[in-house]
Amino acid sequence: MSIRAHERIAASLERRRTRERRLVVALPAARVRAAPSLTADEVAIKHQGDLVIAAAQQGDWVTLTETFFGLNGYMLLEQHDPEEGLVTILRETGIGAVEASYASSHLPQDFVASVLGNLDHKTLEGVKPVCRLWASEARILLNDICWQAEHLTVSSQLRLYCASEDWPADAALILRLERQPKEAFEHDELGLPLHFAIRSLRSCEVVSALLAAHPLGASTPLPHAQGTSGDLPLHLAARLPCVEYNTLSAVLNAYPQAINKMLSMIWAHGSSWRTPASLCACMLTNGTLQHFRLLLAAYAAALVDPDDPPGDPMIPIAYFESEIGPYIRGSECTVGGMEELRAICAEFCPAYDTSSSDWAKPNRNNGPLFVFQSTLPSDDDSSDDDDEAEAEAAVAGA
């Protein structure tokens, strides 16, 4: 090829380069058509933020330098919408403009990460479709504990939490509380963040961090709109199956007086107020005997006369029989659980009779009401015959 031919090609390329325009898509989605007509076939879709290069313009249409399956692509610059009026589809952008830079998938990875790191949660989720690099960096940021602590409030983290994915992480919420402790005081129709965390069965670490940021939260009742107005965090924890022992202990230690407060119980026929001892008895249903003993010990201590404290806190037999005994007699248990329950009763109410074989016999008409778990390991096939006989007698109906 001659030198003159090279010069002609170079001149042609330069003329083409000067005619090209860099445009960025302004709508969430814009169609690329096979001809400059709204009735022409659609050959591709461009998304908001995508960079397109136009080689030429014909009226309101531009011809793209990119081809699609061997066909030229055409896009409208603007379109008249009957409802919205004039709608901009492609926005002009010069070389080095922010829009063009952001729309490129060839930027350095660290630059993209620094730009995306300033976005909030919803925006960061929304930019994933831009390109693979953006999607990858967005996922990395969304799972970064420091980013979560910086961009998600305590309340947002509690509501967005997904246990199966452990997102947002407990560490992010604790870090957020260290930076913004006042967010633990924010109160809405669902109560404090502490109430929400307990109801969501969040970890003991999260509950303890909320209590550390707002100690008075342990004595703050739920708002009236919840149907259990007056209930404290301890009441919520005692109602929940599978609540962590350490969580229950942390809430109790933060406000021991809660053990004396009346408990709102919801039954099929409506709600009613129950005695504080019912709070202990809830643990026969929702926790282990370790949970039960923790609250029983707290309640026994609350009954102590400060002017005449006895050596060991005890619960009067009449009260134990009327308020806790019915739950015990309406419970099923294992051999280990039966022995542990017998020891707990003897510890806090020695006068309560656990010597007879039917001391925990279920109600004759209604059958067993609750099932509680032992904190001792379950017995295997090598258990002796006497223990097996006792277990059968404990759960058998009359």
pLDDT at 221 over 60: yes
Q: Is 370 left (phi over 0), alpha (psi -120 to 50) or beta?
A: beta
Name the average pLDDT for the chain: 75
Give residue 379's pLDDT: 40
Strands 270-274 and 263-267 come out as: antiparallel
Closest CA to 173 of 194, 199, 198, 152: 152
Q: Residue 10's pLDDT is what?
A: 53
pLDDT at residue number 265: 58
Buried b (16+ CB within 10 A) or exposed e, 181-218: eebbeeeeebbbbbbbbbbeebbbbbbbbbbbbbeebb
More confident residue, 392 or 339: 339
Of 22 and 268, which is predicted with more confidence? 22
Which pLDDT does position 193 carry in this prediction?
A: 94
pLDDT given at position 322: 77
What is the C-alpha separation between 78 and 300, in angstroms, rounded?
A: 77
Structure confidence by residue, pLDDT tens digits, 97-124: 333 444 444 455 567 777 788 888 888 8
Residue 189 has pLDDT above 90, yes or no: no
Lowest mean pLDDT among 228-237, 318-327, 328-337: 328-337
Residue 394 has pLDDT above 70, yes or no: no
What's the pLDDT score for residue 7? 55
Q: Which pLDDT score is estimated for 359?
A: 62
* pLDDT for position 154: 94
The answer to whether residue 296 scores a pLDDT higher than 60 is yes
Where is 257: in which H helix or E strand?
none
What pLDDT is stored for residue 119 in this prediction? 84
Residue-wise pLDDT tens digits, 123-139: 888 888 777 788 888 88
Which pLDDT score is estimated for 172?
92
C-alpha to C-alpha distance for 376 and 384, rounded to whole angstroms: 16
Among 151-155, 161-165, 225-229, 366-370, the range with the most confident prediction by mean pLDDT is 151-155
Q: With beta carbons less than 8 A apart as the criterion, state whether 14 and 34 touch.
A: no
- Residue 179: closest CA among 152, 217, 207, 208: 152
Cβ contacts of residue 272 below 8 Å, gap of 6+? 264, 265
Which amino acid makes up residue 189? Answer: E
Is residue 154 within 8 Å of residue 177, measured between CB atoms? yes
Average pLDDT over residues 63-71: 86
Range list of H helices, 229-369: 233-239, 245-254, 277-286, 289-302, 317-323, 325-329, 335-348
Indicate whether 388 pLDDT > 60. Answer: no
Q: How many CB atoms lie within 10 A of CB 340?
A: 21
To the nearest 10°, the Cα dihedral for 145, 149, 154, 160? -50
What is the average pLDDT across 310-315?
Answer: 71
Taking a C-beta distance cutoff of 8 angstroms, is the pair 116, 138 a contact? yes
Residues 11-65 pLDDT 10s: 554 444 445 777 888 888 889 999 999 899 999 998 887 888 888 888 889 999 8
**pLDDT confidence of residue 237:** 87
Confidence of residue 268 (pLDDT cuts 50, 70, 90): very low
- Whether the CB-CB separation of 270 and 258 falls below 8 Å is answered with no
- Measure Cα distances from 89 to 30, 79, 177, 358, 385 in Å: 7, 7, 44, 81, 83
The most confident of 225-239, 320-334, 367-381, by mean pLDDT? 225-239
Domains of the chain (ranges, CATH numbers):
3-104 (2.30.30.40), 275-398 (no CATH)
SS3 155: helix
Spatial distance between the Cα atoms of 142 and 170, rounded to a whole number of angstroms: 14
